[in-house]
């Protein structure tokens, strides 16, 4: 066991969150991500289904995270899926989204910990030419701007996952998401074609892309990644 003790706190929505047995095989990328490090690292997944930056804060989910941060810790923040949809009750204005990301970053740094901002993972939507659509453009750009303006370590998962979708194409990319035929799994007897949430395989691929970002950023955390 290393003398250094690191906790990586994951703060985000359903694409990152742990899943209950009745939701499987849907898998948040935070689940396989937790198994990618040596014994010095603990991953604490605080992500919750259906949350935006605003509702995560309003429900008091952020304060307990801040209270336990130490100087060796990291906070990975990935929101946008629910913030960006005006018809959702979780919707956050653009100004509010920027302010909330700033709060996560500022309060993480006040505790001496390291914030990392991530854009949302692309939805599996292709245009007629088989090119992945930019489904998160506005709120991804806001995240990019906060990372740039505040000099925050940043992993552009929107861009990385659209590149992966483009590489795989419309057909092969279904394996990344929670697509099931009727009767294939007892939790989804009628089948499902979910182009937002991941299969176990897809979550593993997403976690690998996050790890690529960690290593490219040359964070101290990278030294603890196990292949």
Structure tokens at 103: 């709060």
Quick check: pTM over 0.75?
Answer: yes
Residue with tokens 């920027």: 98
Owner of token pair 């499902």: 192
pLDDT higher than 50, residue 2 = no
Beta bridge partners of 154: 117
Q: CA 33, CA 37: separation in Å to the nearest integer? A: 8
C-alpha span between 198 and 175 (Å, rounded): 8
pLDDT at residue number 4:
77
Q: Environment class of residue 213 by beta-carbon count within 10 Å: exposed (0-12), middle (13-18) or buried (19+)?
A: buried
Per DSSP, the three-state class of 28 is: coil
Q: Once rounded to an integer, what is the mean pLDDT over residues 45-54?
A: 98
The share of the chain scoring above pLDDT 70, in percent, equals 98
Q: What angle do CA 31, 167, 188 make, to 5 degrees?
A: 45
Q: Are 211 and 74 in contact (CB under 8 A)?
A: no
Q: How confident is the model at residue 181 (pLDDT cuts 50, 70, 90)?
A: very high
Q: Copy the structure tokens of residue 221.
A: 């955390």
Q: Convert the pLDDT of each residue in 106-126 to its tens digit.
A: 999 999 999 999 999 999 999
- CA dist 105 and 23 (Å) reads 31
Tokens 């929107």 correspond to what residue?
A: 158
pLDDT of residue 133: 94
For 191, the token pair is 């089948």
Six-digit token pair at 70?
């130490």
In the chain the domains, ranked by start, together with CATH numbers, are 6-220 (3.40.50.1110)
């Amino acid at each position: 066991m290393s003398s250094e003790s690191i906790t990586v706190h994951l703060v985000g929505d359903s694409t990152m969150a742990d899943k209950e047995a009745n939701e499987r095989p849907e898998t948040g990328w935070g689940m396989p991500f937790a198994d990618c490090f040596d014994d010095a690292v603990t991953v604490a997944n605080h992500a919750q289904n259906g949350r935006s930056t605003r509702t995560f804060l309003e429900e008091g989910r952020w304060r307990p995270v801040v209270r336990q941060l130490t100087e060796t810790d990291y906070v990975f923040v990935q929101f946008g899926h629910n913030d960006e949809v005006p018809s959702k009750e979780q919707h956050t204005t653009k100004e509010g989204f920027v302010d909330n990301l700033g709060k996560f970053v500022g309060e993480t740094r006040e505790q001496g910990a390291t914030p990392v901002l991530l854009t949302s993972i692309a939805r599996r939507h292709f245009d007629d030419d088989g090119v992945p659509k930019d489904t998160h453009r506005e709120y991804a750009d806001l995240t990019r701007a906060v990372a740039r303006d505040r000099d925050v370590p940043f992993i552009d998962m929107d861009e990385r996952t659209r590149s992966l979708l483009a590489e795989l194409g419309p057909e092969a990319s279904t394996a990344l998401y929670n697509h099931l035929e009727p009767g294939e799994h007892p939790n989804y007897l009628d089948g499902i074609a979910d182009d937002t949430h991941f299969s176990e395989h897809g979550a593993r691929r997403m976690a690998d892309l996050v790890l690529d970002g960690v290593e490219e950023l040359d964070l101290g955390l990278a030294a603890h990644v196990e292949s």
